């Protein structure tokens, strides 16, 4: 079935540093790809998505490009802030026939220091 | 509009007891999914309900069950609690259309501690 693999964390950065969190996927066809973020004490929030190859999803300064050649969907941000400290999850749907369930990576913890 | 509401936020139960968690999805969302999140196993899918029917099920023992009501609210029940059931239980709602490009909206979760 479909699956995603994320880089292990934690990723520790100073404020204003460049962020990359790697995500690669294994899938049948070209499913939509998602990044979710979980802030401390909260549930997951959809951060961005891309629905087809070469699409770029973006939100709150974060970007990710759907690359079918490398089966990747890496999350990037040019200048992180302390408030970006959270756990980030890469996800893709699993299923068929109109019924799809997101399958999540293990999550990557990001810690940003002032 | 109101988000996904999970109650209670925190729960402490004794091993062997049972527990019921509640989830109210976003108005108009007919699909409700449940996940268990632990530091060791990450996010694991429990089950999904759509129009009061369980449509998908993860790999959990029969002690974990759920249901969905006609107003799309959902409950999950865990019977004969074990220490390993201590986790954050997350509910997510969606309004799926044909295809898989939709996202899910999660609640803040119920933190269950089994002692």
Query: For A46, which of B33, B103, B107 is closest by C-beta distance?
Result: B103
Q: Which of chain B's residues have a Cβ under 8 Å away from the Cβ of A99?
A: 48, 50, 55-56, 96
Query: For A43, which of B96, B101, B106 is closest by C-beta distance?
Result: B106
**Mean pLDDT score of chain A:** 92
What B102-105 contacts at long range (C-beta under 8 Å, 24+ apart), as own/partner pairs, is B103/A34, B103/A46, B103/A49, B104/A44, B104/A46, B104/A102, B104/B33, B105/A46, B105/B3, B105/B4, B105/B25, B105/B26, B105/B29
Chain-centroid distance, C-alpha A35: 3
Is B26 within 8 Å of B3 (Cβ atoms)? yes
Q: Percent of chain B at pLDDT above 70? A: 94
Is the CB of A107 less than 8 angstroms away from the CB of B92? no
Query: For B90, which of A32, A34, A43 is closest by C-beta distance?
Result: A43
Given a cut of 60, is residue A63 above it in pLDDT?
A: yes
Query: To the nearest whole angstrom, how far is the Cα of B102 from the nearest Cα of chain A?
Result: 8
Give residue A96's pLDDT band: very low, low, confident or very high (50, 70, 90). Answer: low
CA distance A24 to A64: 12
Is the CB of A43 less than 8 angstroms away from the CB of B107? yes
pLDDT in tens, A64-75: 999 999 999 999
Q: Decide the pairing of beta strands B42-50 and B31-38.
A: antiparallel
């Amino acid at each position: 079935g479909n699956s995603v693999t994320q880089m292990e964390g934690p990723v520790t950065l100073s404020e204003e540093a460049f962020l990359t969190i790697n995500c690669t996927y294994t899938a049948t066809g070209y499913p939509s790809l998602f990044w979710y973020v979980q802030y401390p004490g909260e549930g997951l929030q959809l951060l961005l998505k891309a629905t087809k190859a070469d699409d770029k999803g973006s939100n709150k300064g974060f970007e990710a490009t759907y690359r079918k050649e490398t089966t990747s969907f890496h999350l990037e941000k040019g200048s992180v802030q302390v408030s970006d400290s959270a756990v980030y999850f890469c996800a893709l749907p699993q299923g068929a026939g109109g019924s799809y369930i997101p399958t999540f990576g293990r999550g990557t913890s990001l810690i940003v220091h002032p | 509009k109101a988000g996904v509401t999970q109650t209670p936020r925190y729960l402490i139960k004794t091993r062997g007891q049972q527990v019921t968690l509640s989830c109210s999805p976003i108005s108009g969302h007919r699909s409700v999914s449940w996940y268990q999140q632990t530091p060791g196993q990450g996010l694991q899918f429990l089950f999904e309900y759509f129009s009061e029917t369980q449509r998908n099920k993860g790999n959990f023992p029969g002690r974990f069950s759920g249901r969905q009501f006609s107003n799309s609210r959902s409950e999950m029940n865990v019977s004969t609690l074990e220490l390993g059931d201590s986790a954050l239980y997350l509910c997510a709602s969606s309004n799926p259309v044909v295809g898989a490009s939709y996202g899910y909206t999660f609640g803040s979760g119920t933190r269950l501690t089994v002692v």
